[in-house]
Amino acid sequence: MNILLFTTGGTIGSAFDGNSINVSHKGCSVVEKYLSENTHACVQFDIKSPLNILSESITADDFNTLAKALFEADLSDYDGVILTVGSDNLAYLGTFVGLLFGGCGVPICLVASDKVLSDPGANGTVNFACAVELIRQKKSGVYVPYRNSDGVMYVHSATDIRQADLSDDFVSFHGAYAVFENGTLREKRPYIAQHIPPVFDRDMPPQIDDIVLLIHPYPLQDYSGIQPVITRAALHTLYHSATLDSERFIPWMKAHPDFPVFLASFRSGRKLYRTAIDAIEAGAIPLYDIAPECAYVKLLLACAQGVMSIKEFMKKW
């Protein structure tokens, strides 16, 4: 089995130097640990390192560099692809790869670790081993295998995963796609195959930029401090009941009519609160059944393409 491995840094590619955790420059320890623990594994890794960063510091250029590396790779030469990434931006990077490459026809897995691999309690190596097994089982799609603190190995659809909570656990917007137990993948719900058809030139990866404003709700929210400078679109996330303070939000939105404002996320079939209806009637655009992280990355891509309007792009897939 031949696997293309992209390393990008993150905790899984970092080490503790006695004072702090930082990215390592000493090879790919996750492969070394995997092969030492799976001595009979018949697998070859073709390792490339387009990035070596702590994921909290990722830039638009870093997203573009990774997209370029994936676009230029001949994926037909491999049984699958693994990307080792940081956990802080796992949901965003997973969505980015899932939206662009979900239809490529080979399994792609993003693998992170909750601790540096030298820590005996780290889950990075078992997450990596699960990714190898998903590729061995030829599960086409883009996945995030991750063992939570409950000891269960969950497999998430990459475009559905949410950011981790303070326990370092990950969940998905619609629930995990599957769990992996004793070498067997047990599906819990349909795979969320949300990928974008090739509206981008295959030889020209999209060049995203930091021109999307992301706003989260909180009590006593002061919108007067939000003064966009270069913004093509905004995404306003919502409370769990799909609400926001519309009395404070609507005047701010009307004061900035030059870009569309999207709301995420609503769930189909649920009744809406008056505050949400007021915001929509005032011109905000509702997004349904999509993880907020996915909505944000999709909006970045919507602004990067020139085939259709941003609103049409966001509503189309």
pLDDT tens sequence across 226-256: 989 889 999 999 999 999 999 999 999 999 9
Q: Which residues of the chain have pLDDT under 70?
A: 197-203
List the structure tokens of 2: 């031949």
Q: How many angstroms separate the CA atoms of 108 and 94, rounded?
A: 10
Q: Residue 199 has what pLDDT?
A: 58
DSSP bridge partners of 262: 235, 285
Name residue 109's beta-bridge partners. 82, 143
- Contact between 299 and 312 (Cβ < 8 Å): no
What confidence score (pLDDT) does residue 247 get? 97
pLDDT digits (tens, 9 = 90+) for 73-112: 999 999 999 999 999 999 999 999 999 999 889 999 999 9
* 3-class secondary-structure state, position 159: coil
Tokens at residue 29, please?
A: 């320890």
Residue 18, pLDDT score: 85
Residue type, 32: E
Phi, psi dihedral angles at 71 (to 5 degrees): -60, -35
For residue 25, the model assigns a pLDDT of 80
Say what the pLDDT of residue 203 is.
Answer: 63
What number of other Cβ atoms are within 10 A of residue 246's Cβ?
20
Q: How far is CA 213 from CA 54, 74, 122, 232, in A?
A: 22, 34, 34, 8
280: part of which helix (H) or strand (E)? helix 274-281
Sign of CA dihedral 180, 194, 63, 44: positive
Angle between helices 292-304 and 90-101 (to 10 degrees): 50
Q: Please report the pLDDT score of residue 194 as a whole number.
A: 77
Beta-bridge partner residues of 235? 214, 262
Q: Determine the Cα–Cα distance for residues 64 and 184; give it in Å rounded to an integer.
A: 35
Q: Are 271 and 246 in contact (CB under 8 A)?
A: no
Count of alpha carbons within 13 angstroms of residue 273, beta-carbon side: 12
d(CA 53, CA 13): 9
Placement of tokens 């905004």 in the chain: 234
- With b for 16 or more beta-carbon neighbours within 10 A and e for fewer, the 11-41 pattern comes to bbbbbeeeeeeebbeeebbbbebbeeeeeee
Neighbouring C-beta atoms of residue 228, cutoff 10 Å: 12
